[in-house]
Amino acid sequence: MRSALNRAVRGVRWYVRELTDESAYDRYAAYLRENRPGAEVPSRREFERMRTDRQEADPRQGFRCC
Amino acid sequence: MRTDSPLKASPRTIVIWTLVALVSAAGWSVLALSRGEEVSAAWMVAAALGSYAIAYRFYAKFIAHKVLKVDGTRATPAERLNNGIDFHPTDRRVLLGHHFAAIAGAGPLVGPVLAAQMGYLPGTIWIIVGVIFAGAVQDMVVLFFSTRRDGRSLGQMAREEIGPFGGAAALLAAFAIMIVLLGVLALVVVNALAQSPWGTFSIAMTVPIALLMGFYLRVLRPGRVAEVSLIGVALLLFALIAGRWVAESSWAGTFTLAPSTLVVWLVAYGFIASILPVWMLLAPRDYLSTFMKIGTIVLLALGVVIALPTLRMDGVTDFASQGDGPVFAGSLFPFVFITIACGALSGFHSLISSGTTPKMIQKETQVRVIGYGSMLMESSVAVMALIAASVIDPGLYFAMNAPAGVIGDTVQNASQVVGGWGYRISPEDLAAAAKNVEESSLLSRTGGAPTLAVGVSEIFSQVTGGGLRAFWYHFAIMFEALFILTALDAGTRVGRFMLQDTLGNLYKPFRDVSWKPGLVITSGIVCGLWGYFLWVGVHEPLGGINQLFPVFGISNQLLAAVALAVCTTLLVKSGRLRWAWVTGIPLLWDATVTLTASWQKVFSSDPRVGFFEQRSVYQDGIDRGEVIAPAKNMDDMHTIVTNSTVDGVLTAVLALLIVIVIADATRVCVRHVRRPALSSLSEAPYVESRIVAPAGLIPTGQEKKEARDAVGAEPRG
């Protein structure tokens, strides 16, 4: 019972983090560590700035419909 | 229908699907056969959900496996080009949420409300049949082809697969459509907020709330979206409650704005917001509106299912056949099919299906759940909007949606005019309806949002009790205005981007998107253009929504024609000629409907429908020195003449552009059939996929086994 509840809470937390893209940084860091072992992993602050800069440069990214 | 399953359907499956079919058929029968009596919304829900289930299970599966031949072993762009940011394989359930949040907005809420003037039946049929055979098919096929092309955009695909001429026409059409869209959406907001201090205050508060959230995310705790969104939503709800206090206080005057003042505020907002950095306003607002959107849609679905309200609108009204409805002119065919775009078939979705989503999809096999599935979800939102519009008193519905020029500005006059159409509502009831939601008046609150809000407050207060009616009304207004304002900002940026790209051909620096003077100039041009339509809409003596919404509907459906033309061309060119009807028939239907509507808007001899006939009627009046109602003076007469000319020319140009795209696409298809060697297909080459992931939302037994095997085989690291 308890573990089922735990699983449900973890599931919701995972889904919300993924849906809001809060997990974007962790994903990027994991990606860099795995695929470019030499590359420096940016701090979360730098990463989030880079992300909004990219959206700035091409507003079609993440465009929403009417 | 045959499905791909190697096993024969089990008896259990047959029983279940027979039951689903029976429930759906019962819903349809009750909706279609009842005349004159009130029908429960439960039947509409049954008809819709049953039809969606069958369509998803059989038709979508057929398209995925027989027509597109989705290949689970082929790596998607997300896997091949994974860069950890915009290209990355995303869990299908998450991507479904992303995609749905991106396609569903104000569109599916506004169109069905306006189309309810013809009764709930035409709208329901079009929303459900349209989504199954056209809208969801378009979204899924565009998503599939874009996935096969590294996530290319619709414009790029049109250029590569049809040709530079058709591609340029498609791009120009997309820009024009964006402008009309923004103008009409802004008009919806103005009509909802005018003379409403409660609504205006709570919407104004979204700006400081968003700035605060932006600062939090930029400086305090970067990337903590969930917590900042919770804070934002809490503040938003507080602003909503505070709106009532403001409306009752001495500040009320400050926030009671005339429509023309709101126009200035909105254009200024659009301009400033679009030149500010994304992190300040756009990104936080986007989080807020997504949260509110998903939350409200879930609430509305619960409300409809719990309250199961009764539909009070007629199944089919006389306006359907006579074409003289006050909300928009023209008869059922073709105008229902352009008024309801989002929810049935929306060209704009093709921009999302060929934008972010194809770069994130894990497996080709998932285009069914993401493309087709989320469009079915949007369609159900449209059905709920139609229910909300149909549960309110029809007399109130028409008093809210007819232009002021038609029903006047007193409840007595409105009651009389609406009574003349056969809908009885007393002046006292009209006044009481406004008082119930704490608004000064509900007359001529055109644009759909206020009507939807009244319907939503009706449904919610059946669940929560009547005391919260005014709160729910303003909740619904705030929720729509919130994401329309976000759309103004985002849409201005996209329009600007297109313009920068085009102007870059004439003067190089424009192409650099961070070149500040270029940014300001192009933002100014885009805001000026949609601001023009907004201004015109607000001052239109014939009613802005009445005049402009058909142009908006036509442009959205014309974009769908472009998308369907690209899909059909791709089906033909990729050796799927025998299945080209899957998008070919929707294309034919869409082109017929839309071009008929354009034709009527341009050439009809009925001055209510045809822009140029309208122009000549009022021009003749000016020449004779005579003022024709609803114009009140010569200035109004001149305004009508100018607006009719602009709207008529715009409609004609849009139709012409699309004819060009379709003709060019047909040429390419015919050439391919005659001499296949001449055509080239720019599909990304096959790479084998190493990801194991289920195709549908719920993994099948086979897929679970594959997942276990894959985990077992992978070296742990």
Phi and psi at residue B413, to the nearest 5°: -60, -45
Residue B82 contacts residue B151 (beta carbons within 8 Å)? no
Check CB contact of B96 with chain A, cutoff 8 Å: no
C-alpha dist (Å) from residue B496 to A59, B168, B251, B451, B665: 9, 17, 37, 32, 28
What's CA B715's distance to the chain center, in Å? Answer: 46
Residue in the block written with tokens 């500010």: B276
Helix, strand, coil in percent for chain A, rounding step 5: 65, 0, 35
pLDDT of residue B1: 45
State how far the Cα of A15 lies from the Cα of B261, in Å rounded to an integer.
Answer: 42
DSSP 3-state assignment of B437? Answer: coil
Residue in A33, A64, A27 with CA at minimum distance from that of residue B178: A64
pLDDT of residue B72: 94
Q: What b/e string do you get for B172-192 counting C-beta neighbours within 10 Å, with b at 16 or more?
A: bbbbbbbbbbbbbbbbbbbbb
Q: Give the confidence band of B678 by pLDDT, cuts at 50, 70, 90.
A: confident
Between these two residues, B715 and B73, which has the higher pLDDT value? B73
* Cβ contact A20–B229 (<8 Å): yes
Tokens of B115: 């189309």
Tokens of B546: 């009445």
- To the question of domain B11-195+257-678 being in CATH 1.25.40.390, the answer is no
Residue in the block written with tokens 């809420």: B109
Q: Measured between CA atoms, how close is A54 to chain B, in angstroms?
A: 10
What are the residues whose beta carbons fall under 8 Å from the beta carbon of B305, sequence distance 6 or more? B45
Please say whether the dihedral angle defined by the alpha carbons of residues B68, B73, B78 and B80, taken in this order, is positive or negative: negative
State how far the Cα of B77 lies from the Cα of B628, in Å rounded to an integer.
Answer: 60
A61 chain-B contacts, CB cut-off 8 A: 86, 355-356
For the segment B292-324, what is each residue's pLDDT rounded down to a tens digit? 999 999 999 999 999 999 999 999 999 999 999
> Which of B227, B278, B282 to mutate: most A Cβ within 10 Å?
B278
* Cβ contact A64–B105 (<8 Å): yes
Q: Give the confidence band of B639 by pLDDT, cuts at 50, 70, 90.
A: very high
Check CB contact of B209 with chain A, cutoff 8 Å: no
In a 10 Å sphere around its CB, with 0-12 CB exposed, 13-18 middle and 19+ buried, how is residue B585 labelled? Answer: middle
B278 chain-A contacts, CB cut-off 8 A: 52, 55-56, 59
Would you list the domain boundaries of chain B? 11-195+257-678
Check CB contact of A48 with chain B, cutoff 8 Å: yes
Nearest residue on chain A to B153, judged by CA atoms? A60
For the segment B402-426, what is each residue's pLDDT rounded down to a tens digit? 999 999 999 999 999 999 999 999 9
Residue B561 contacts residue B649 (beta carbons within 8 Å)? no
* Cβ contact A66–B278 (<8 Å): no
pLDDT of residue B2: 45
Q: Is the pLDDT score of B6 beyond 60? A: no
Q: What value does the mean pLDDT take over residues B27-45?
A: 91
Q: Is the pLDDT score of B131 beyond 90? A: yes
Residue B351 contacts residue A63 (beta carbons within 8 Å)? yes
Q: Is the pLDDT score of B629 beyond 90? A: no
State how far the Cα of B350 lies from the Cα of B355, in Å rounded to an integer.
Answer: 8
Check CB contact of A24 with chain B, cutoff 8 Å: yes
Percent of the residues in chain B that have a pLDDT greater than 70, as a whole number: 98
Alpha helices in B574-695 (DSSP H): 581-603, 611-624, 634-674
What are the residues whose beta carbons fall under 8 Å from the beta carbon of B219, sequence distance 6 or more? none
* Cβ contact B349–A22 (<8 Å): no
DSSP B481-531: HHHHHHHHHHHHHHHHHHHHHHHTTTSGGGGSTT-HHHHHHHHHHHHHHHH
Amino acid at A55: Q
What are the residues whose beta carbons fall under 8 Å from the beta carbon of B249, sequence distance 6 or more? none
Any idea of the CA torsion for B384, B386, B391, B397, to the nearest 10 degrees? 140
Can you give the C-alpha Rg of chain B in angstroms? 25
Residue B336 contacts residue B123 (beta carbons within 8 Å)? yes
Residue in B179, B618, B497, B181 with CA at minimum distance from that of residue A61: B497
Backbone dihedral region for residue B679 (phi beyond 0: left; psi -120 to 50: alpha; all else: beta): beta
Backbone dihedral region for residue B275 (phi beyond 0: left; psi -120 to 50: alpha; all else: beta): alpha
State how far the Cα of B320 lies from the Cα of B115, in Å rounded to an integer.
Answer: 10
Residue B257 contacts residue B195 (beta carbons within 8 Å)? yes
Q: What value does the mean pLDDT take over residues B272-283?
A: 94
Residues 337-366, chain B: which have Cβ within 8 Å of A? 342, 346, 348-349, 351-352, 355-356
For the segment A32-53, what is each residue's pLDDT rounded down to a tens digit? 999 888 888 999 999 999 988 8
> Which of B85, B171, B379 to mutate: most A Cβ within 10 Å?
B85
Phi and psi at residue B265, to the nearest 5°: -60, -45
pLDDT of residue B106: 86
Check CB contact of B222 with chain A, cutoff 8 Å: yes
Tokens of B519: 């940014």
End-to-end CA distance of chain A: 43
Which of B102, B153, B226 faces A16 most closely, judged by CB atoms?
B226
Chain mean pLDDT for chain B: 93
Q: What value does the mean pLDDT take over residues B115-140?
A: 97
Residue in the block written with tokens 């939601």: B437
pLDDT of residue B141: 98
Tokens of B645: 């000319």
Tokens of B557: 């459906």
CB-facing half-sphere around the CA of B210: CA atoms within 13 A: 26
What are the residues whose beta carbons fall under 8 Å from the beta carbon of B600, sequence distance 6 or more? B330, B334, B609, B610
pLDDT of residue B716: 43
Neighbours of B298 (CB within 10 A): 10
The mean-pLDDT minimum among A2-16, A51-65, B91-105, B187-201 falls in: A51-65
* Cβ contact A48–B217 (<8 Å): yes
Residue in B482, B473, B455, B542 with CA at minimum distance from that of residue B196: B473
Please say whether the dihedral angle defined by the alpha carbons of residues B55, B56, B60 and B66, taken in this order, is positive or negative: negative
